[in-house]
């Protein structure tokens, strides 16, 4: 961890702890006010609890030009980003975090080329739908490891994080609490229910929360679509292509549309928000991540729309290329934030419970 970033966040947290005006905005402040002194682990946990809603910045009487120069959303964003890097496993890949934009770009190019060449070289003799271009076996051979290995790497990262922040044994009720908080995006509601500050200075709105919800639930629906396809394939011998009124399509089409809208909305909001209230150095990488999500959903929908046409021949590797890039970079890009966020929310639920006893 970079000690100067932690030290700066600690300096700011100590000022916040003497003020407490922002107690009602989000989970960060009640957590902060429970402590008198902040260890590196405490600061790391606060950083991952912060959803960057910016309410505290715009309400703060100590922002620049005041000599206290508070900018807690930025200080925590920088620690947060650094904490993902320092917990990345294997450590050799950690620098990918700083070059997310480049990594995503290069990943896309490589993944597309790889899949295109593979598809051409191993084009099946027969097959229906996209299986006419790439066999089921080949897809599984590529995507099973591309899905499972990053998840394993992420699990190691999260274990490290859990140790850093002093997490104890996991309680189901705490995980459930975290799921409810994330499911509602409670921390972007602003305490008063008017939403957060993001795209228009101190005006509260639900725009970011709603676009994030669309992204999150869209993504989960897409995941459900793929999972249901897997179950149908192996469990019931029902192979793709599926009709519109099949589970994979009923999950996948609305999911893809939601993800498309959500990602496009988040990207748009990001262009309007003040970059200096986040981690300015990784703005580009974060933007690339949002656009990658958009590309995953847009190419998925396009592939479905192109069913039966020759365009499938190139759309398939394009779509699968975006998915492959997304999977492979999960532990080393903004995608990781969701997992760290869930860990932080779970830890906060546990701390809250302990404090209440």
Partner 1 sequence: MAPEPDIVIIGGGNAALCAAMTAAEAGARVRILEAAPKPYRGGNSRHTRNFRCMHSGPLGPLIDRYSEDEYFEDLLKVTGGKTDETLARLAIRLSEECLPWMEAHGVRFQPSLSGTLSLARTNAFFLGGGKGLVNAYYRTAEKLGVEVSYEAPVTHLEFDENRIVRVDYTQNGETHHVSPKAVIVASGGFQADIDWLTRAWGPAAQNFLIRGTPYNRGVVLADLLDQGVEQVGDPTQCHAVAIDGRAPKYDGGIVTRLDCVPFSIVVNKHAERFYDEGEDVWPKRYAIWGRLVAAQPYQVGYVIIDAKSINLFMPSVFPPIKADTLEELAAKMDLPADKLLKTVDEFNAACGDTSSFHPTELDGVSTTNLTPPKTNWARPITEAPFYGYSLRTGVTFTYLGLKVDENAQCSIGNRPVANMWAAGETMAGSILGQGYLAGFGMTIGTVFGRIAGREAARYAN
Residues that bind partner 1 (CB under 8 A): 14-15, 17-25, 30, 33, 36, 55-56, 58-68, 191-192, 194, 202-203
Closer CB to partner 1, residue 17 or residue 246? 17
Query: In whole angstroms, what is the distance from residue 286 CA to residue 101 CA?
Result: 8
Query: In whole angstroms, what is the distance from residue 220 CA to residue 60 CA?
Result: 36
Output the smallest distance, CB 108 to partner 1, in A: 42
Output the smallest distance, CB 271 to partner 1, in A: 22
Paired with 236 in beta bridges are none
Output the smallest distance, CB 313 to partner 1, in A: 54
Cβ(232)–Cβ(248) below 8 Å? yes
Query: In whole angstroms, what is the distance from residue 281 CA to residue 98 CA?
Result: 8
DSSP strand E in 183-269: where? Answer: 196-197, 204-205
Output the smallest distance, CB 25 to partner 1, in A: 7
Closer CB to partner 1, residue 12 or residue 333? 12
Closer CB to partner 1, residue 203 or residue 281? 203
Q: Of all residues in the chain, what percent are helix, strand and coil, respectively (each to 5)?
A: 75, 0, 25
Output the smallest distance, CB 267 to partner 1, in A: 26
Query: In whole angstroms, what is the distance from residue 52 CA to residue 278 CA?
Result: 7
CA angle 26, 30, 34 (to 5 degrees): 160
Closer CB to partner 1, residue 197 or residue 335? 197
Closer CB to partner 1, residue 23 or residue 239? 23
Closer CB to partner 1, residue 205 or residue 226? 205
Residue 205 DSSP class:
E
Output the smallest distance, CB 21 to partner 1, in A: 3
Q: How many CB atoms lie within 10 A of CB 110?
A: 14
């Amino acid at each position: 961890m970079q000690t100067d970033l932690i030290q700066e966040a600690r300096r700011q947290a100590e000022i916040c702890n003497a003020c407490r005006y922002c107690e009602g905005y989000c989970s960060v402040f009640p957590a902060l006010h429970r402590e008198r002194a902040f260890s590196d682990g405490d600061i790391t946990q606060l950083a991952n609890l912060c959803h960057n809603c910016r309410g505290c910045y715009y309400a703060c009487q100590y922002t620049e030009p005041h000599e206290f120069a508070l900018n807690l959303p930025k200080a925590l964003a920088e620690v947060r980003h650094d904490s993902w890097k320092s917990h990345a496993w294997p450590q050799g890949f950690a620098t990918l975090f700083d070059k997310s934009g480049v990594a995503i770009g290069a990943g896309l190019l490589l993944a597309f080329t790889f899949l295109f060449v593979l598809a051409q070289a191993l084009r099946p003799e027969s097959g229906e739908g996209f299986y006419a271009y790439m066999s089921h076996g080949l897809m599984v051979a590529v995507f099973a490891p591309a899905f499972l290995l990053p998840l394993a790497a992420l699990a190691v990262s999260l274990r490290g994080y859990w140790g850093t922040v002093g997490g104890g044994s996991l309680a189901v009720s705490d995980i459930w609490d975290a799921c409810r908080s994330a499911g509602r995006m409670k921390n972007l509601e602003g305490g008063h229910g008017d939403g957060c500050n993001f795209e228009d200075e101190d005006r509260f709105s639900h725009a970011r929360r709603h676009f994030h919800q669309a992204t999150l639930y869209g993504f989960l629906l897409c995941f459900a679509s793929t999972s249901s396809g897997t179950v149908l394939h192996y469990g019931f011998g029902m192979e793709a292509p599926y009709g519109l009124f099949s589970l994979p399509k009923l999950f996948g089409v609305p999911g893809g549309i939601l993800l498309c809208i959500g990602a496009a909305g988040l990207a748009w909001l990001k262009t309007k928000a003040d970059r200096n209230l986040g981690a300015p150095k990784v703005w580009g990488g974060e933007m690339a991540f949002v656009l990658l999500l958009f590309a995953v959903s847009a190419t998925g929908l396009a592939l479905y729309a192109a069913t039966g046409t020759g365009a499938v021949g190139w759309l398939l590797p394009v779509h699968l290329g975006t998915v492959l890039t997304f999977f492979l970079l999960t532990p080393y890009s903004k995608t990781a934030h969701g997992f760290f966020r869930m860990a932080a929310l779970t830890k906060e639920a546990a701390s809250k419970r302990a404090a209440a006893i």
